[in-house]
Amino acid sequence: MWEEGEDSVILLCLTASSGVPLYCRSRGGSVKQQLPFSVIGSLNGVHMFGSNLDVMLTAACTENTRVVWKVFHNSITLIVLSSDEGTSDFSLGKLLENVFSAMVLVLGLEELVNTRNVERLKKDLKACYKLIDSFLEPSKCSADLTQCVECAVMPSRAILQECLEAFASAAESRFGSLLTGGHVLCATEQWWQLAAQEAMLLMWLVRTLPPHTSRDLPVYLPHGSPTVPHRFLTFQLVPGLEVVLLCGPSPSLQFLADELVKQFWQPLLDLLKASARASPRCLLPSTSLAPGILGVLLINQDQRKSLFTVQPHGTWAEGSEMPLKNRLCALRSFYALVISLYFPSEKSEGTTVPLQEEFQAGFSHHPQHCYVVSATHKAYAVQGRRHQLFLLLKPDVPTFALRSLATSTLQALTTEDSAI
């Protein structure tokens, strides 16, 4: 389907009952990757043929392409084809879940499930394209896989938290968050009560929007409110740092922007600028990690928060071990491997982990540690009581030292000051 060595992703959306194509998107929004109708019909036909025989076809693999199918609410069928090296059925299954939730976020579940006019739905779905396309691009984070909100730890987060709580209360909202570079600096208590995927999608939406001083958007919450929209308000406090709220009909955007934003955030202008310039490592300056660590993914399983960085020691210098792109790919692939094969199921809001396999028959226990050794890197994972830690390490780190290094790193990252 693709030339050898070419990396690409194509996403198809069809009606589940009749197989009518609703859209076809590809990486980069390129039109050259649009599939012929005969190929689309074959991909949908083989899936429907299996369904008629009570066979669930979820994934298939050719020499250079992986294909994954998923039907949502017996209404929408999504099919993804990927030639990316290192991609997995697990990651493609997550992509399909994210894409459908993005469609619900923008249009609401009612319009997708009870389709009365296919042509109108096709037109309405164009509003989702930018958000959908962002999930097809090579990711620079882990939130789309983990379904966790990525956080950044700051020394001054207590001050920011207090100001955010007061601002949200004055805006008649219980749901507020302060963001920089797609990472949450702090959030109200109720924000963390949102379903993990909802909070992740809202952060992802902000990242895909062009810069603007303020916004007022209707959004549907895929789990909490899939049929009734909420107002999603964003305010740029300084370049690179925004505060977001979920609100009801009042107060007005103009009142918030002209009165409350200035009243609550103007006194903290210097602190906000410093926070926006924070290091890409997302860790406290006092947090010291072993020099052999190339990447970190720490997950708080109870609150579905995470810390993720492939620059654990600050800025990355040209000529350093392993380019950032390779680090991202390796750490994401390692996470997908571990979660789908070895660690217990993720805690999720009534959904199953896509394409998660049972551990090998004959083992009654759940593994707590696992590691991978390759020519370019090593990787180690720890399953703790509340946290999961995934480390990417230099290949010259001794294998016998991986466990102790990972255990000490987990302890350092979950102390009271730096914990998420």
Three-state SS at 127: helix
d(CA 197, CA 391): 23
Residue 396 predicted with pLDDT over 60: yes
d(CA 375, CA 264): 52
d(CA 171, CA 251): 7
Two tokens at 344? 């217990």
In a domain, 360, yes or no: yes
Which pLDDT does position 31 carry in this prediction? Answer: 46
Same-domain check for residues 126 and 159: no
In a domain, 146, yes or no: no
In a domain, 288, yes or no: no
Q: Which of 277, 304, 339 is the C-terminal boundary of a domain?
A: 277
Same-domain check for residues 15 and 132: yes
In a domain, 143, yes or no: no
Sign of CA dihedral 152, 157, 160, 165: positive
Same-domain check for residues 59 and 126: yes
Q: In this predicted model, what pLDDT tens digit does every residue of 253-303 receive, in sequence order?
A: 999 999 999 999 999 999 999 888 876 678 887 788 999 999 999 999 988
In a domain, 380, yes or no: yes
User: What is the DSSP code string of 34-56?
Assistant: PPPHHHHHHHHHHHHHHHHTT--
Same-domain check for residues 111 and 180: no
Segment 373-402 shows an average pLDDT of 95
Residue 351 predicted with pLDDT over 50: no
Inter-residue contact 151 to 192 (CB < 8 Å): no
- For 64, counting Cβ atoms within 10 Å of its Cβ (0-12 exposed, 13-18 middle, 19+ buried), the class is middle
- For 254, counting Cβ atoms within 10 Å of its Cβ (0-12 exposed, 13-18 middle, 19+ buried), the class is exposed
Residue 321 predicted with pLDDT over 90: no
Residue 251 predicted with pLDDT over 70: yes
Residue 88 predicted with pLDDT over 80: yes
Closest of 63, 66, 75, 64 to residue 43, by C-alpha: 66
In a domain, 321, yes or no: yes
In a domain, 250, yes or no: yes
Closest of 36, 100, 37, 38 to residue 68, by C-alpha: 100
Q: Which of 83, 103, 138 is the C-terminal boundary of a domain?
A: 138
Residue 186 predicted with pLDDT over 80: yes
Residue 58 predicted with pLDDT over 60: yes
User: What is the DSSP code string of 70-113?
Assistant: EEETTTEEEEEEE--TT--HHHHHHHHHHHHHHHHHHH-HHHHH
Q: What percent of the chain has a predicted confidence (pLDDT) above 90?
A: 63
Q: In this predicted model, what pLDDT tens digit does every residue of 101-116 receive, in sequence order?
A: 999 999 999 999 988 8
Amino acid at 51: S
Same-domain check for residues 321 and 256: no
Which pLDDT does position 353 carry in this prediction? Answer: 46
Same-domain check for residues 270 and 300: no
Domain with residue 57: its CATH number is: 3.30.450.60
Same-domain check for residues 65 and 97: yes
Q: In this predicted model, what pLDDT tens digit does every residue of 16-39 receive, in sequence order?
A: 888 899 999 998 765 455 678 888
Domain with residue 267: its CATH number is: 3.30.450.30
Three-state SS at 219: strand
Same-domain check for residues 161 and 267: yes
Same-domain check for residues 23 and 133: yes
In a domain, 373, yes or no: yes
Q: In this predicted model, what pLDDT tens digit does every residue of 168-177 receive, in sequence order?
A: 999 999 999 9
Which pLDDT does position 4 carry in this prediction? Answer: 47
Which pLDDT does position 82 carry in this prediction? Answer: 92
Same-domain check for residues 201 and 300: no
Angle made by CA atoms 198, 199, 203, in degrees to the nearest 5: 115
- For 366, counting Cβ atoms within 10 Å of its Cβ (0-12 exposed, 13-18 middle, 19+ buried), the class is exposed
Same-domain check for residues 309 and 202: no
For residue 299, the enclosing domain spans: 293-416
Number of domains in the chain: 3
Same-domain check for residues 103 and 16: yes
